[in-house]
Structure 1
Amino acid sequence: MINLSVEKDLTIEVVEEILFGNQEIKIDSATKQKVKESYEFLEKFAKNKVIYGINTGLGPMAQYRIEDDKLVDLQYNLIRSHSAGAGQKIPDVYTKASMLVRMRAIMQGYSGIHTSCLELLETLINSDVYPFIPEHGGVGASGDLVQLAHLALVLIGEGHVTYKGEFKLTKDVFAELGIEPIEVKLREGLSLINGTSVMTGVGLVNVIKSKQLLNWSLMASVMMNEIVMSFDDHFSVTLNSVKKHEGQQEIAKGMRLLLKDSNLIARREEHFFSGEVDERIFKRKVQEYYSLRCVPQILGPVYEAVESAKKVVVNEANSVSDNPIVDVENKNVYHGGNFHGDYISIEMDKLKLAVTRMSMLSERQTAFLFNSKINEILPPFVNLGTLGLNLGLQGMQFTATSTAAENQTLSNSMYVHSITTNNDNQDIVSMGTNSAMITKRVIDNAYQVQAIEMMALVQAIDYLQVSSRLSSATKKVYDQLRAIFPVYIEDRPLYEDLAKVVDYLFNNNVEIPQE
């Protein structure tokens, strides 16, 4: 059980425990009291005043007064009319993250809505009931209006949910579990749909899975260096410390820690600096290809991009993105644009560039393993069968290449593609939800490319018969992968093996040793 309080910010670690550790949540009584006070203040303050979204129309129709006997109808109309998304449903874990972010915003007591909204979100998360939220709809400016409307639709007992893996009517699941929907009191419709919660929820999962992928990319890179018995100076303290970037130094340190007990990595001082090399043409490569030698310089910026995205997304998750903002302490209501998703949009654009770079590195390292003329130590396509008759992993390279190419195309910016909408009321928008969802696809693709490289790596290790000389860290990964993907000699369909390895990488984090 994880206790949540208005006084304590969400961290990426807490989010990960809730999303992937099956931890239930409990909101403390002080937080619920703060939400109650916000609602009660707004209920009194709104009388005889014009406040957007309470007694006015919405968007460009804000100039129209709504009569007192129609105020509740306005909120229901808003939820129902904006439940107009399209496309595939957002997977449950991303929806759960979005629900958590919406709940966190309400918890802070600036929304002026009834505590029943908070309590129902808590119940749904703990009951593993996930609203149907479609991929397409929000432009990320007045928040995730369309996607969050689908969330709000479930809170009023309508629409569809996923429960126990089945797609069902909300009313049927609520009846089965004895759950009561909320009753709109004041501005529950606007507050529930007006915010950046979906793009932020998806962004949180994207950050978690990007960090995890970076660890796998680092692991693959050190295994690559072991296979070719590379020199250790390109990840040395001295070489990397003269480049003043934290990310590069962190990646180099990770390589040193992962390889500290390897029996395959060589020292240049013992070979080229020994004074005993008299060859005219050196049999051994003086320097490795860039995809092996420049790992700290390539993954260093990726490390910093992931860390930057984590900071921004966690800040947004702990922010209030409603409009207007209800300030109980100063007894006022402030109109503005906290719902604008620019922070998430630009950060997701940057993150997908970094993830695409990882997929490009993985594809290039895989190409190195497959090309016997370049690596000069392995058979073509790390074929452990009869050359010519058997084809090894040749077919998998097409998948890696095409998927990396798709990532390159998907990495074009959404942030700069504002399109005016809402009768020109929303004349510049963030497209943050699209940016986050496209980044999710880029990450999914990158795991596929990474899985293909990991399969090639274990084949190469077996061909070279060096598993006993690997570092303890890489040997552990080798054993784990071989338990999923057995030695491949005779040709057989590989798509099921690939799916298993993708699933393993996506759902497990590789351990990076600590000093």
Structure 2
Amino acid sequence: MIELTGSTLTLEQIRRVCYEMETIQIARSSMEKVRSSRAAVERIVKEKKEVYGINTGFGKFSDVTIAEEDVAPLQLNLIRSHACGVGEPFPEIVSRAMILLRLNALLKGFSGVRPIVVETLAELVNKQVHPVIPQQGSLGASGDLAPLSHLALVLVGEGEVFDKGQICAAGEVLTREEIEPIVLQAKEGLALINGTQAMTAMGVINYLEAEKIAYQSEWISAMTLEGLEGIIDAFHPAIQEVRGYPQQIEVAARMRGLLQDSQLTTRQGEKRVQDAYSLRCIPQVHGATWQALDYVKEKLEIEANAATDNPLIFDDGETVISGGNFHGQPIAFAMDFMKIAVAELANISERRIERLVNPQLSDLPPFLSPEPGLQSGAMIMQYAAASLVSENKTLAHPASVDSIPSSANQEDHVSMGTIGSRHASMIIQNVRNVLAIECICALQAVEFRGIDKMASRTREKCVQLRSFVPSITEDRIFSQDIKQISEWLKVNS
């Protein structure tokens, strides 16, 4: 069980909650902060102080004063009117991460919600009740308003949830799970939707998947190196150390470890003086991707423990400040950076695929075909990889460079960070498929060279993969092989 404090949540803990369904509990000290913050909101309402989001309208309507008897209906109206997301829903695992992150933010004690709100969010996590949240419709500033409104709908017994692979009315599932819908009070609707939790939740899941494929790209490229009898000298520690990037040094060290007892790699001058960049520069290119991923991880862990709604309540309600912590620019930049960095793993992988299949670039059978001419072998797999790489180039265009004013120009600069996080997810899946294609080609190449000569670690992977993807002895529907390996990569290391 993981204890939430509002300040100490790590990506590893999020992984355990989202992938392993670990349960959570709320720290007692954090619940005290929630109670104190709520008492401040209730004093503001009672004393009829005019404070944005508590007894005023929203956005351009911030200058409209709301009567005390309408403060509660104001919050429900907000949730219903803002729940206008469109498109396919976020994956269920992202929905779960979104609840967790929104709960953690509220536990910081600056948002003014009642304890029942955070307790109900915790129930959703622990009973695995995950809202159906459309992916499109957020500008990534003023928070992820549309996506988080769909999350908030479930708290009041409206909207839809995932239920054993089906989509069901939230009210039915809450009744079955004995979760009592809440009636929103002053500020609570706004506190639930003013935040960056959609882009951050998607970003965290993206990071966890990107981290895995970055490691996988190393052992897959190591098999390719063996299939092409690549030169191991390029990974010598001295080369890496004189440049000085820790990530480059680490990639080269892992490559040496993967290939340490291989009889298929060569030394400088044995067969050629140097390899092409797609082999020789693996530490430099993959290492640069790791640099970007390290940056992304740092930003996601900060955001996962941030107060991102508006206004925020300080000094027991004596200080209530309207600011801009809901603006998603830090995560927007991180997601755009991730897109470019992860896409590069596919760019260089596709070039290695070309070297494996092109008879002008190696002494392997043309297109790794068992009968060149009669059998096309891996010819069109390279086409598919090239198509995915090209698609990634359009998806990698930064979303954060765009902004469209909203709310009658009151909200005149936005981040588009949620678009960036969605595109990053698409790129990651494309990269995984490209790596699956490289894997198929590398397996065929090392078989041609002799599996018994492989390094022990790459041979172990070869045996695992050959248990469900057979050698190419004749042409078949390779789409199925790509899918099988891609799905295997998604759940294995």
TM-score by length of structure 1 reads 0.93
Aligned AA (1:499): K
The 2-side partners of 1:60 and 1:107 are apart by: 28
Aligned to 1:454: 439
1:359 aligns with 2:343: no
Which residue number in structure 1 is paired with residue 334 of structure 2? 347
The residue correspondences of 1:58-457 to structure 2 (distance < 5 A) are 58-268=58-268, 284-328=271-315, 331-376=318-363, 378-383=364-369, 385-457=370-442
Tell me which moved more, 161-170 or 22-31.
22-31
Partner of 1:275: none
Bigger CA drift: 64-73 or 322-331?
322-331
Where do residues 6-25 of structure 1 align in structure 2 (5 Å cutoff)? Answer: 6=6, 9-25=8-24
Q: Which runs of 5+ in 1 are unaligned?
A: 273-283, 510-515
| Preserved contact between residue 82 and residue 149 of structure 2 (Cα < 8 Å) | yes
One-letter identity of the residue aligned with 2:477:
P
- Look up the equivalent residue of 2:408 and give its one-letter code: N
SS in 1 for 2:284: helix
Report the Cα distance in structure 1 between the residues aligned to 2:427 and 2:340, rounded to whole angstroms.
9
Question: Contact 1:85/1:134 (CA < 8 Å) preserved in 2?
Answer: yes
Task: Give the structure 1 partner of residue 460 of structure 2.
Answer: 476
SS in 2 for 1:448: helix
Letter matched to residue 376 of structure 2? L
Shift in Å, 1:489: 1.4
| Cα separation, 1, equivalents of 2:134 and 2:435 | 28
Aligned counterparts of 2:368 and 2:313: Cα–Cα separation in 1: 63
Structural RMSD (CA): 1.4
Q: Distance in 2 between matches of 1:223 and 1:330?
A: 61
- Offset of residue 464 of structure 1: 2.0
Match of 2:470 in 1: 486
Q: Do the aligned partners of residues 55 and 237 (structure 1) sit closer, same or farther apart at CA in structure 2, a change above 3 Å counting?
A: same
- Partner Cα separation in structure 1 for residue 261 and residue 99 of structure 2: 45
Q: Describe the superposition over 1:254-303 as per-residue Cα deviations: whole angstroms up to 9, x where unpaired.
A: 112222222323333xx56xxxxxxxxxxx22111110011111111101
Asked whether the equivalents of residues 227 and 356 of structure 2 are also in contact (C-alpha less than 8 Å), the reply is no
Aligned residues: 492
**Contact 2:403–2:415, Cα closer than 8 Å, also in 1:** yes
Per-residue deviation, 1:310: 0.3
Residue type at the aligned position of 1:491: D
The separation in 1 between residues aligned to 2:241 and 2:320, in whole angstroms, is 52
> CA contact under 8 A between 1:128 and 1:164: conserved in structure 2?
no
Post-superposition CA distance 1:184-203 (Å, at most 9, x none): 12211100000001101111
CA contact (8 A) 1:233 1:239 kept: no
Cα shift readout 1:107-144 (whole Å, capped 9, x = no counterpart): 11111001122111111112222111111111011010
Aligned equivalent of 2:2: 2
Q: Is the 8 A contact 2:149 2:193 kept in 1?
A: yes
Q: CA deviation at 1:463?
A: 2.1
Q: Secondary structure at the match of 2:63?
A: coil
- Aligned-pair distance for 1:329? 5.1
**When the two structures are superposed, what TM-score results if normalisation uses the length of structure 2?**
0.97
Question: How far did 1:460 drift?
Answer: 1.3
Tell me, which stretches of 5 or more residues in structure 2 are unaligned? none
Does 396-405 or 151-160 show the bigger shift? Answer: 396-405
